[in-house]
């Protein structure tokens, strides 16, 4: 029985650990917290899982919350008027080909961690440093690092050949809320995306939290702008009050829908910033010891396109298949790099899509958004790029390809 160590108990680490355990591998998982601490802790993300990632979970039997989680069947995108008048310059709704769902990671990771232990998986309940990582890796057939922040991520060098930034392009703040109304009523459950030119983005995502269905409100603020006002890390109640003031100014139609909302719990806020980074996937800890990075350890994107959990699910699935195909052969650095390359073949599209959406929107993207207002086919295709970013390369990455598609779609 091959021994595998996975450091990190998030989407990627736990999904891979459960998959390997189900196939007879001896799996040791390193988790900084136990299930009780995760459930009672602060929210960790504003995860949104689209159809392809949800399918991976379903096929693995890990979709434990499917019935109780709101099903999102469309993305409503709006661009606010750039004059600051509090009106919409344009808006459209793009149907999703498959439903999207969001489960609070406090619920998901705690349940998966308990499931892993119930099925006989071994868990080390503590954070580890690089020295202990080397000790664990020296005794295992394969060690994977899925802890995307802190010292362990830094053992993987940045890859200067890939897109990179030296600072965050947004500051982030979110709060989980009960009582947010849906325009058109619950039957029209949508993700609502708002772009305020030069200022940032606002996302409202139906989700499931520890106390039932809710809405996550995420602020993506251009540093130094009027939405970049969360440095004091306010309490959930103060966060909501400040959010309502901002909505009243920039998105008054959303203020009306959120006016009666309440925070879901005392730990319902999260603050931070992400520097988009791609790292080399293999870290050499000693002459004979190498470890493989996965998911946001090696490919970190800002959450403006909602790809973090989807990338993690796809990475875990790709790595699982590669491990199974390897059989009894050594997990050497060359195999590790090939395995990451298979993941990067997907992640490169996510990175390109996210990078474009973080900058001032180029003219050809503005033409797409304008066309989507009156052409449902354009709105649908744009919405489904979030579900499958590989389509981004086919028509959004290049202005000529965009214009050719728009000419065809608008004629039709």
Last residue of a domain, one of 357, 383, 401: 357
Domain boundary among 245, 273, 301: 273
Residue 209 inside a domain? The answer is: yes
Domain-ending residue, one of 273, 291, 309? 273
Question: Looking at the domain assignment, is residue 148 inside a domain?
Answer: yes
- Same-domain check for residues 133 and 51: yes
Residue 67 lies in a domain: no
305 shares its domain with 181:
no
Residue 259 lies in a domain: yes
| Domain span holding position 19 | 3-61+104-165+276-357
For residues 205 and 265, membership in a common domain is answered with yes
Q: Same domain, yes or no, for 9 and 41? A: yes
CATH of the domain at 341: 3.50.50.60
Are 109 and 125 contained in the same domain? Answer: yes
44 and 135, same domain (yes or no): yes
Does 66 map to a domain?
no
Residues 31 and 146 in one domain: yes
Q: Check which CATH number belongs to the domain holding 248 and give it.
A: 3.30.9.40
Residues 257 and 140 in one domain: no
Residues 304, 222: one domain?
no
The secondary structure of 151-195 as a DSSP string is TTGGGSPB-TTS---SS-S-EEEEEEEE-PPPTT-GGG--EEEEE
Domain-embedded: residue 342: yes
CA proximity to 271, closest of 248, 308, 301, 239:
239
Q: What is the pLDDT of residue 375?
A: 97
Q: Are residues 281 and 402 in the same domain?
A: no
Q: Which residues pair with 158 in a beta bridge?
A: 279
Q: What is the largest CA-CA distance in the chain?
A: 65
Residues 193, 147 share a domain = no
Residue 83's pLDDT is 72
Residue 128 included in any domain: yes
Residue 221 lies in a domain: yes
Per-residue confidence (pLDDT) for residue 184, from 0 to 100:
76
CA distance 161 to 341: 14
Give me the tens of pLDDT residue by residue for the chain, a chain 412 residues long: 899 999 999 999 999 999 999 999 999 999 999 999 999 999 999 999 999 999 999 999 999 999 999 999 999 999 998 776 778 999 999 999 999 999 999 999 999 999 999 999 999 999 999 999 999 999 999 999 999 777 898 999 999 888 778 899 999 999 999 999 988 776 678 999 999 999 999 999 999 999 999 999 999 999 999 999 999 999 999 999 999 999 999 999 999 999 999 999 999 999 999 999 999 999 999 999 999 999 999 999 999 999 999 999 999 999 999 999 999 999 999 999 999 999 999 999 999 999 999 999 999 999 999 999 999 999 999 999 999 999 999 999 999 999 999 999 988 7
What's the rounded Cα separation, in Å, for the pair 69 and 159?
38
Return the pLDDT at 85: 72
Q: Say how many domains are in the chain.
A: 3
Whether residues 91 and 233 fall in one domain: yes
């Amino acid at each position: 029985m091959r021994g595998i160590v996975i450091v990190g108990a998030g989407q990627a680490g736990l999904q891979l650990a459960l998959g390997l355990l189900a196939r007879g591998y001896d799996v040791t998982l390193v988790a900084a917290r136990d299930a009780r601490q995760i459930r009672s802790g602060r929210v960790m993300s504003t995860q949104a899982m689209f159809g392809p990632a949800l399918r991976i979970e379903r096929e693995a039997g890990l979709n434990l919350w499917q019935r109780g989680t709101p099903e999102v069947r469309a993305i409503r995108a709006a661009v606010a008027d750039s004059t600051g008048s509090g009106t919409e310059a344009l808006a459209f709704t793009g149907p999703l080909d498959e439903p999207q769902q969001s489960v609070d990671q406090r619920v998901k990771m705690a349940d998966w961690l308990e499931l892993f232990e119930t099925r006989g998986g071994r868990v080390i309940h503590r954070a580890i440093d690089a020295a202990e990582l080397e000790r664990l890796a020296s005794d295992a057939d394969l060690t994977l690092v899925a802890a995307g922040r802190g010292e362990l991520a830094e053992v993987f060098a940045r890859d200067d050949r890939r897109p990179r930034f030296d600072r965050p392009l947004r500051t982030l703040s979110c709060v989980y809320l009960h009582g947010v109304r849906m325009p058109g009523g619950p039957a029209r459950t949508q993700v609502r995306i708002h772009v305020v030119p030069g200022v940032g983005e606002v996302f409202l995502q139906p989700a499931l939290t520890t106390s039932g269905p809710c809405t996550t409100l995420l602020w993506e603020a251009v540093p130094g702008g009027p939405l970049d006002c969360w440095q004091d890390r306010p309490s959930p109640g103060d966060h909501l009050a400040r959010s309502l003031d901002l909505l009243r100014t920039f998105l008054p139609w959303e203020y009306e829908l959120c006016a009666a909302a309440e925070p879901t719990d005392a730990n319902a806020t999260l603050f931070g910033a992400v520097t988009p980074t791609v790292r080399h996937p293999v870290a050499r800890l000693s002459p004979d010891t190498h470890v493989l990075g996965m998911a946001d350890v090696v490919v970190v994107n800002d959450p403006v396109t909602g790809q973090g959990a989807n990338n993690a699910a796809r990475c875990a699935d790709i790595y699982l298949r590669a491990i199974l195909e390897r059989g009894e052969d050594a997990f050497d650095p060359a195999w590790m790099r090939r395995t990451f390359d298979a993941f990067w073949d997907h992640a490169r599209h996510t990175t390109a899509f996210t990078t474009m959406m973080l900058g001032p929107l180029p003219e050809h993207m503005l033409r797409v958004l304008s066309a989507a207002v009156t052409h449902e086919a354009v709105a649908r295709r744009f919405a489904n790029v979030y579900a499958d970013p590989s389509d981004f390369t086919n028509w959004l990455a290049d202005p000529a390809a965009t214009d050719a598609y728009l000419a065809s779609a608008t004629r039709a």
